[in-house]
Structure 1
Amino acid sequence: MSTHLLIDTHSHFDADEFTQDRAEAFARAQAVGVSMQIVPAVSFRGWETLRTVCNTYQGLYPAYGLHPMYLAEHQASHLTALTEWLHHESAIAVGECGLDYYVKGLDPAQQNYFFTAQLQIAVDQQLPVIIHARRAVETVIQQIRRFPRCRGVVHSFAGSEQQARQLLDLGFYLSFGGPITYPTAHKLRKLVQVLPLEGILLETDAPDQPLASHRGERNEPAYLLEVLTCIAELRQQSPAEIARITTRNTFELFGLTQ
């Protein structure tokens, strides 16, 4: 049991992997102090389910967007639908959006079309963005620079220290989860040690990116406490201090209140 208020800033709690035991997984998260989750969408067809899940469980906050890995599903009309959806639905952010240059077969030009359109929507709606940037951090930075009023988070950050500091200078946050728990992730673990805590958020990316201690298993929001513990050990700071500052960061970015 944690006495810290923790927020999982990136959980796909609406995913099918939680269909069988979502209530139990929610209770496990609550029991260790993970009292809030930010749940980003991945495609148009999932928005209604996401809304239902977030309305069912207290402390879940939806973000709506079009994820680059689901590019084959996206249509230009979904961007219009996103703007309309955000007008009448309560949303904490636009996302998950971004670029993925790792997965084969995802056209970069099409990805950039949907990504930049969502950056504009976020600016228009005065919402932060939740960005996926896999093997594409440099291009993500270039696109963000085109929207100076845009703020948000690059989730599961895996770029260089130089790129991290550029993003922080642009007013963005970086979130870290399961990958930092692997002892072989030297670059990532060093990054978590040297970056200012004022720019860091905590996440699980559940059900994906399981922690080293849960390798091969489904990830879940309750494991955020282990992410916190790992960061505290790497930085040689108390878990309470890490929890306090990262929670404050999350409140600040997403306009949350306790």
Structure 2
Amino acid sequence: MQPFLIDTHAHVYLPEFDKDRSQMILRAQSAGVTQIFLPAIDSSTHGQMLETEAAYPICKSMMGLHPCSVQENYSQEIEAVKNHLAQRRFIAVGEIGLDFYWDKTFVRQQYAAFEQQIELALAYNLPVVIHSRNAIDECIGVVAKHPSLRGVFHCFSGTEAQAGKLIKLGFFLGIGGVVTFKNAGLDKVISAIGLSSVVLETDAPYLAPVPYRGKRNEPAYTKTVAEKIASLLNISLEEVFSTTSTNAEKLFSFAENL
């Protein structure tokens, strides 16, 4: 079977792709990408996300409330998430979690929204896709309380010790363009842990890998991330394709969910 790639995290429904979305999808397919998973942000973008999914069969939606969208009225947003989950099957609850980088005004609400959405994931037997900017240890503390929970720490950029804790909990690490950044240190983590708990992602339109850093990211660059990992581990590109895609299939359980 021809090796293929899965971009497990890309916001291709955002306005950055409005002018060339169809061409971007074709470029992704030409690079070997067969699935693009769309993480939700909040009710202001759910419509665009679902419309993009309907227009492009390669795309599959998650449902959730991004921690940066958690405010005083977060309960209304959680109700929107609940309503969507009750209407149809999604591939995951995400992206959810904690973000203490930009603003700590709503820390208490972020924790509450995170916990409530974990409960939804457990109720629907879905994985979670976790955003943990400046909050990896805090997110580990939350998920450790739910031993049956499964999921991925999106855009993982932590230490080898943190990676080890997550792998022990049965979680996967979402690896994207940051692994190509010279001083990020993620290359050393990947070299130490290998591929057994890794899935690939772009986080498009953000965090484009070298040599595209600073430009708009897109799912075709999943291949660039795979190439970097292959060189770090001194293995074939086909092995990176195969292992990470198998990991994604295992986590997201396509056949059951889609």
Range of TM-score over shorter length: over 0.9
Q: Are residues 1:33 and 2:32 paired?
A: yes
| Structure 2 counterpart SS, 1:41 | coil
Q: Whole-Å Cα distance in 1 between the matches of residues 140 and 220 of structure 2?
A: 31
Q: Whole-Å Cα distance in 2 between the matches of residues 36 and 25 of structure 1?
A: 13
Aligned to 2:95: 96
User: What number of residue pairs does the alignment pair up?
Assistant: 255
Q: Are residues 1:51 and 2:43 paired?
A: no
Mark the CA change 1:148 to 1:141 in structure 2 (over 3 Å): closer, same or farther. Answer: same
Q: Whole-Å Cα distance in 2 between the matches of residues 77 and 68 of structure 1?
A: 14
| Residue ranges of structure 2 left out of the alignment (5+ in a row) | none
Q: CA RMSD in A?
A: 1.5
* % same residue: 36
Kindly provide the CA deviation profile for residues 163-188 of structure 1, in whole angstroms up to 9, marking residues without a partner as x.
11111111110011111112222x21
Q: Which amino acid aligns with 1:194?
A: A
| Residue ranges of structure 1 left out of the alignment (5+ in a row) | none
> Normalising by the residue count of structure 1, what TM-score does the alignment of the two structures yield?
0.95
Q: Whole-Å Cα distance in 2 between the matches of residues 74 and 161 of structure 1?
A: 37
Aligned to 1:137: 136
| Structure 1 counterpart SS, 2:211 | helix
Asked if the contact 2:194–2:233 (Cα under 8 Å) also holds between the matched residues in 1, the reply is no
| Structure 1 counterpart SS, 2:254 | coil
Q: Whole-Å Cα distance in 2 between the matches of residues 116 and 16 of structure 1?
A: 30
Aligned to 2:78: 79
Aligned-residue offset at 1:106: 4.1
Kindly provide the CA deviation profile for residues 18-62 of structure 1, in whole angstroms up to 9, marking residues without a partner as x.
111100100110111111101001112211211110111012110
Kindly provide the CA deviation profile for residues 62-96 of structure 1, in whole angstroms up to 9, marking residues without a partner as x.
00111011223852022233122112123100001
Aligned-residue offset at 1:105: 4.2
1:212-251 matches, within 5 Å, as 212-251=210-249
Asked if the contact 1:43–1:74 (Cα under 8 Å) also holds between the matched residues in 2, the reply is no
Kindly provide the CA deviation profile for residues 203-244 of structure 1, in whole angstroms up to 9, marking residues without a partner as x.
100000111211221100011110000000011111111110
Aligned-residue offset at 1:5: 0.3
Aligned-residue offset at 1:189: 0.6
Aligned to 1:60: 59
| Structure 2 counterpart SS, 1:30 | helix
Asked if the contact 1:44–1:74 (Cα under 8 Å) also holds between the matched residues in 2, the reply is no
Asked if the contact 1:71–1:106 (Cα under 8 Å) also holds between the matched residues in 2, the reply is no
Alignment match of 1:203 (pick from 201, 204, 210): 201
Aligned to 2:112: 113
Q: Whole-Å Cα distance in 1 between the matches of residues 72 and 9 of structure 2?
A: 22
Q: Which amino acid aligns with 1:180?
A: V
Q: Which amino acid aligns with 1:141?
A: I
Aligned to 1:42: 41
Aligned-residue offset at 1:147: 1.6
Aligned-residue offset at 1:161: 1.1
Aligned-residue offset at 1:4: 2.7
